[in-house]
């Protein structure tokens, strides 16, 4: 499969933030390995005139997902801290749209679509096809892809630009199967590049 890129497409880069990369507070194993393929893909989208969106967790210090508040996770991606910043090697186009999510203390949002209005840039641009990569396969990537498919987007996940938490062994593999069962297609960045070159 070599999908063509045009202005009906958007690349959604999910949560490639320092706290989710090696050395971070909630590090995904090899999480920084997604950066190079996502940089390549973002450049392809920019050249095709397609939208690039980057999401980020932007939590308050007392966010409900933190263990001190009864949540499952250590403190991570607290807004304005170095851990919440994008990985320093991530190269976003100048006109990329940055979407902050889970900003309220009682709002958890694994999905890009989890809060009202966050998808507005897609609506305004008439986007019909989404390509999704980033962190983590078994959480924010999965829920973003499932929600996109439910909303009628033709949805692709970049198989070589995702990494998972695997809090339970096999979580990432199960997430991939769940996405495929929902109609999400897996492609590689190379396949996207070949589609652009056609």
30 is catalytic: no
- Using the structure block, give the residue that is written with the tokens 């090696």: 22
Catalytic residue among 32, 101, 138, 142: 101
- Confidence (pLDDT) at 159: 97
Total domain count for the chain? 1
Catalytic residue among 21, 138, 140, 142: 140
Q: Are 111 and 143 in contact (CB under 8 A)?
A: yes
Nearest-angstrom CA–CA distance, 84 and 156: 26
- Confidence (pLDDT) at 197: 52
Write the CATH number for 136: 3.40.50.850
101 is catalytic: yes
Strand positions, DSSP E, 5-153:
9-14, 51-57, 97-101, 129-135
The one-digit pLDDT tens for each residue of the chain (198 residues) are: 567 888 899 999 999 999 999 999 999 999 999 999 999 999 999 999 999 999 999 999 999 999 999 999 999 999 999 999 999 999 999 999 999 999 999 999 999 998 888 889 999 999 999 999 999 999 999 999 999 999 999 999 999 999 999 999 999 999 999 999 999 999 999 999 987 654
189 φ, ψ (degrees, to nearest 5): -60, -35
- For residue 38, what is the enclosing H or E element? helix 35-47
Range of the domain at 17: 9-193
Catalytic residue among 15, 19, 147, 160: 15
138 is catalytic: no
- Confidence (pLDDT) at 130: 97
The answer to whether residue 155 sits within a structural domain is yes
């Amino acid at each position: 499969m070599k999908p063509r890129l045009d202005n009906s497409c958007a690349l959604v880069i999910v949560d490639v933030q320092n706290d989710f990369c090696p050395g971070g507070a909630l590090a995904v194993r090899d999480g920084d390995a997604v950066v190079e393929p996502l940089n390549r893909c973002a450049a392809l989208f920019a050249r095709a005139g397609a939208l690039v969106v980057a999401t980020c967790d932007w939590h308050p210090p007392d966010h409900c997902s933190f263990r001190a508040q009864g949540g499952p996770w250590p403190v991570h991606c607290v807004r304005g801290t170095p851990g919440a910043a994008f990985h320093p090697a991530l190269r976003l186009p100048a006109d990329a749209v940055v979407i902050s999510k889970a900003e309220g203390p009682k709002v958890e949002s694994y999905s890009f679509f989890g809060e009202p209005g966050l998808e507005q840039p897609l609506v305004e641009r008439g986007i019909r096809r989404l390509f999704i990569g980033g962190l983590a396969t078994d959480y924010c990537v999965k829920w973003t892809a499932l929600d996109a498919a439910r909303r009628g987007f033709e949805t692709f996940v970049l198989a070589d630009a995702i990494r998972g938490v695997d809090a339970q062994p096999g979580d990432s593999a199960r997430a991939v199967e769940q996405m495929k069962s929902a109609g999400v297609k897996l492609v590689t960045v190379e396949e996207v590049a070949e589609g652009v070159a056609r």
